[in-house]
């Protein structure tokens, strides 16, 4: 019995350095806006994020857990297994657009995202929330109430927030695909810049301005 105990301790000692030196992960939990819908995956903003981190010398692995058509309810249902499998250092929540497009109650979206934030934090992840706005044809009142979900959660839950991660993109027809909902390949670098502003503080002081202004 004593021999078995010694072997178990030895195994734990040998495995500990490997666990300590594991590359930290950034998990993007999103929908088609993050899954590079309609364009080459290599040109999507998540792929560009991998490239940016590599260029900055920041040792992070990026896992794109985005599914086209997903809602906050779907994201919430698969988040526990994603957290267990990936053990992210940073969780980027980029969901809600499909909730709004389908007319789901904003309170439902708020509750789902709030729970995702809680689960992510309980798993030890830092959280970045990417805000979404609806097209104008969904009505001003509903659109404002929907967008308020992100602003309120960012304030109340004290999470890093990009208020509208398609800012400068959704308003420009040439940067959108023909459906008017999904960004084109040319828009992806701009989306990355929007995300980067919220992500940089979570990466630590080694992340610099790509323009060299730091």
Q: Which two tokens stand for residue 118?
A: 């809680």
Between 175 and 7, residue with greater pLDDT? 175
Q: Is 213 a catalytic residue?
A: no
Full set of structural domains in the chain with CATH? 26-201 (3.40.50.1110)
Tens digits of residue pLDDT in 179-206: 999 999 999 999 999 999 999 999 974 4
Examine the pLDDT at 103 and tell me if it is beyond 90. Answer: yes
147 in active site: no
| 21-39 per-position pLDDT tens digit | 489 999 999 999 999 999 9
Model pTM score: 0.87
On the question of pLDDT at 82 being above 60, the answer is yes
Can you say whether the dihedral through the CA atoms of 111, 69, 194, 146 is positive or negative? negative
The residue with greater pLDDT, 204 or 175, is 175
Out of 66, 70, 147, 182, which one is annotated catalytic? 182
What pLDDT, on a 0 to 100 scale, did the predictor assign at position 2?
Answer: 52
* Whether 182 is catalytic: yes
- Distance from C-alpha of 142 to C-alpha of 132, rounded to nearest angstrom: 13
Q: Residue 75 to residues 48, 93, 112, 198: CA-CA distances in angstroms? A: 23, 9, 8, 21
Given 5, 81, 179, 205, the catalytic residue: 179
């Amino acid at each position: 019995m004593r021999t078995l105990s010694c072997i178990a301790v030895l195994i734990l000692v040998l495995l500990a350095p490997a666990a300590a030196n594991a590359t930290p992960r950034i998990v993007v939990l999103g929908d088609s806006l993050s899954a590079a819908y309609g364009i080459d995956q290599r040109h999507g903003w998540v792929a560009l994020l991998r490239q940016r981190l590599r260029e900055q010398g920041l040792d992070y692995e990026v896992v794109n857990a985005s599914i086209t058509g997903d809602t906050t309810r779907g994201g919430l249902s698969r988040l526990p297994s994603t957290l267990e499998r990936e053990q992210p250092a940073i969780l980027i929540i980029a969901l809600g657009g499909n909730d709004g497009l389908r007319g789901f109650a904003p309170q439902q979206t708020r509750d789902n995202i709030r729970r995702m934030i809680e689960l992510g934090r309980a798993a030890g992840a830092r959280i970045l929330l990417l805000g979404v706005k609806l097209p104008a044809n969904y009505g001003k009142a509903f659109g404002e109430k929907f967008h308020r979900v992100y602003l309120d959660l960012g304030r109340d839950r004290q999470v890093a927030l990009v208020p509208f991660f398609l800012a400068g993109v959704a308003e420009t027809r040439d940067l959108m695909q023909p459906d008017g909902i999904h960004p084109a390949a040319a828009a992806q670098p701009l989306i990355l810049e929007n995300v980067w502003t919220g992500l940089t503080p979570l990466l630590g002081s080694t992340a610099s301005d790509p323009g060299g202004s730091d």
